Structure 1
Amino acid sequence: MTDDLPIRVAALYQFTKFGDPAAIKAPLAALCCAEGVKGTLLLAREGINGTIAGSDAGIAAVLTHVRALPDCGAIEVKESRAATMPFHRMKVRLKREIVTMGQPDIDPLDTGHYVAPQDWNALIADPDAVVIDTRNDYEVAIGTFAGAIDPGTKSFGDFPAWFQAHRDDLAGKKVAMFCTGGIRCEKSTAYLKAQGIDDVFHLKGGILAYLEQVPAEQSRWQGECFVFDERVSVGPGLTLGSYGLCRACRMPVGEAERKSPLFEEGVSCPACHASRTEAQRAGYRERHRQAMLAAARGEAHVGAVFAERDD
């Protein structure tokens, strides 16, 4: 992590039981705004999840407040630094789930076995272990662990169907699962346990903790890690990655995509060009022009806001 960058970024989650999430929302939102903190926090009866960014003092104040919430004293927080503010506004939202899987009967507190980043290499090198990347296809495409299975899901809610189609392949196996920051694995390992798969493990703190704590020369990570803010991707040590974002479809854009004749900054990329009309692209083009004018004036352009995704 580059400590000399001015913006502190904190990705956090905690599964717990909030009796009245709505009562938590207003004080939390007010504090974030007062401290100049931006990002998104999701609240549900099952807990809290999100990523925020701001000054060191501002993030410290918000984290102190969050840790005082019921059973949040030991909340998972992955921190990194950014050169500029990676969010345009602050949102505190009420949701049915803090990460959407569509399986309301599972208990996200009944998870698999946690594996520290320093012990992860040994686990995934075990020939008896089946390693599963629980993230979505666009995330896996820019980086994953060597030998990991890609379920090819478009959203996390597709994971249960993928499991049901492959459950016979996993029966009796040691299953090792990972995701960006750990939250999807809380639910996916709980789901597998509820389905009778008992020998389940997951990477504590997710890929972000691994990239931060495991030296690059020992890393089995290949590529970059997609993150849910304007940095788009990070690499070893949580340094800024090389990917940008297509503003039309919100897919990560790397060197190969930028070289495509179907890529136009702020307008289109190979993933979405065929599914957009020329009228839509004209609208994107004007939005991009306005965003560039706002940037030249040192202002944020609301039309360029990064769309939310569940981790």
Structure 2
Amino acid sequence: MNNNVLNISCYKFVPLPDAQALRDLLQARATNAQLKGTILLAEEGINFFLAGPVDAVRGFVDALRIDARFADLQPKESWSATVPFRKMLVKVKREIIRMDHPAIQPSEGRAPAVTPATLRRWLAQGHDDSGRPVVTLDTRNAFEVDEGTFDNAIDWRIDKFTEFPPALKAHKADLAEKTVVSFCTGGIRCEKAAILMREEGLTHVYQLEGGILKYFEETDGAHYHGGCFVFDERRTLAADLSTGTLSAAPEKSATPAIPDFAPNK
């Protein structure tokens, strides 16, 4: 079976006071290009996951980049035999990743990031380049973690991303004196999480650049076990970015087509 459908996921925290006008424009562009997927817009930025023929998908991104605010978009890519979305939806929401913590504004400055290659090296050697112990912190929901995560990752068993701030307050002492690398599917949740941890006084905090999917794309997937849950009909992706196998179907209500936390896959 030919995997000739291009799937992309991308996000950017950037002020979008014109989010409502952008919704109409992007809905028309995506529909005309016969793309399917979801685009979420908010005053804090954009988050999208789309699928379709390669020229149509990349042409859509090229058109987005004409807007200076989106000039540096770098979507993560994977391939499938069929389009894993049923329709094309563009929505304006309060947040593209719901945390209910208004003080966190990634567009005003993000936490330091670590590349997939660097994280792989740190995990292999058991410490960062300063000799400090490294821990990975999974910021995803419990049912996503159950499909796969980094070896020995910290998992606070949250059911939605709005539970992350109180979970951090409860467990912050456990992270002291360690290098903490927050991670999620595509980078969007762990970006807000890393900023919050730094605001809470944790010094040695990084976000995994591009999340699990970028780690799969740029490394051999070492130190990660299982698959990566994605919010489309593929359900999970293996370390080679091929469609994986869902270990156990989660409750239907737990996996809406457009989750509030907008995982960016």
Q: Which TM-score applies when normalising by structure 2?
A: 0.90
The corresponding residue for 2:258 is 308
Tell me whether 1:62 sits opposite 2:67 in the alignment.
no
The corresponding residue for 2:138 is 133
Q: State the shift of 1:123 in Å.
A: 2.6
* SS of structure 2 residue aligned to 1:188: helix
Give runs of aligned pairs for residues 102-181 of structure 1, distance below 5 A: 102-109=100-107, 110-124=109-123, 125-126=126-127, 128-181=133-186
Whether the 8 Å CA contact 1:131–1:149 is kept in 2: the answer is: yes
CA deviations over 1:191-214 (Å, ceiling 9, x no partner): 112222221112111100111221
The corresponding residue for 2:237 is 234
Whether the 8 Å CA contact 1:128–1:174 is kept in 2: the answer is: yes
Whether the 8 Å CA contact 2:44–2:105 is kept in 1: the answer is: no
The corresponding residue for 1:296 is none
Tell me whether 1:46 sits opposite 2:53 in the alignment.
no
* SS of structure 1 residue aligned to 2:171: helix
The corresponding residue for 1:93 is 91
Could you tell me how far apart the structure 2 residues matched to 1:182 and 1:54 are?
Answer: 22
Structure 1, gaps ≥5 residues long: 253-305
Could you tell me how far apart the structure 1 residues matched to 2:248 and 2:48 are?
Answer: 20
Could you tell me how far apart the structure 1 residues matched to 2:102 and 2:254 are?
Answer: 29
The corresponding residue for 2:20 is 22
CA deviations over 1:7-49 (Å, ceiling 9, x no partner): 1101010010112101111111001000100000000011100
Q: Which TM-score applies when normalising by structure 1?
A: 0.77
Q: CA RMSD in A?
A: 1.9
Whether the 8 Å CA contact 1:7–1:85 is kept in 2: the answer is: yes
Q: State the shift of 1:244 in Å.
A: 7.5
* SS of structure 2 residue aligned to 1:25: helix
Could you tell me how far apart the structure 2 residues matched to 1:75 and 1:242 are?
Answer: 30
1:206 to 188, 211, 214: 211
Could you tell me how far apart the structure 1 residues matched to 2:182 and 2:63 are?
Answer: 31
Q: Which has the higher contact order (CA 8 A, sep 6+)?
A: 2
Whether the 8 Å CA contact 1:111–1:193 is kept in 2: the answer is: no
Whether the 8 Å CA contact 2:11–2:48 is kept in 1: the answer is: yes
Tell me whether 1:193 sits opposite 2:192 in the alignment.
no
Give runs of aligned pairs for residues 257-268 of structure 1, distance below 5 A: none
* SS of structure 1 residue aligned to 2:240: helix
Deviates more, 1:202-211 or 1:242-251: 242-251
Q: State the shift of 1:50 in Å.
A: 1.9
> Which letter does structure 2 place at the counterpart of 1:57?
D
Give runs of aligned pairs for residues 72-91 of structure 1, distance below 5 A: 72-91=70-89
> Which letter does structure 2 place at the counterpart of 1:212?
E
* SS of structure 2 residue aligned to 1:76: coil
Could you tell me how far apart the structure 1 residues matched to 2:204 and 2:164 are?
Answer: 18
Whether the 8 Å CA contact 1:223–1:235 is kept in 2: the answer is: yes
* SS of structure 1 residue aligned to 2:69: coil
CA deviations over 1:169-196 (Å, ceiling 9, x no partner): 2233321111100111111111112222
Could you tell me how far apart the structure 1 residues matched to 2:30 and 2:248 are?
Answer: 26
Whether the 8 Å CA contact 1:87–1:229 is kept in 2: the answer is: yes
How many residues get paired? 254
Whether the 8 Å CA contact 1:14–1:76 is kept in 2: the answer is: no
Whether the 8 Å CA contact 1:232–1:245 is kept in 2: the answer is: no
Whether the 8 Å CA contact 1:38–1:89 is kept in 2: the answer is: yes
The corresponding residue for 1:295 is none
Alignment CA distance shift 1:121-1:107 (3 Å): same
| Higher CA-based Rg | 1
Deviates more, 1:78-87 or 1:122-131: 122-131
* SS of structure 1 residue aligned to 2:106: coil
Structure 2, gaps ≥5 residues long: none
Could you tell me how far apart the structure 1 residues matched to 2:133 and 2:249 are?
Answer: 39
Structure 1 runs of 4+ with >4 Å offset: 244-248
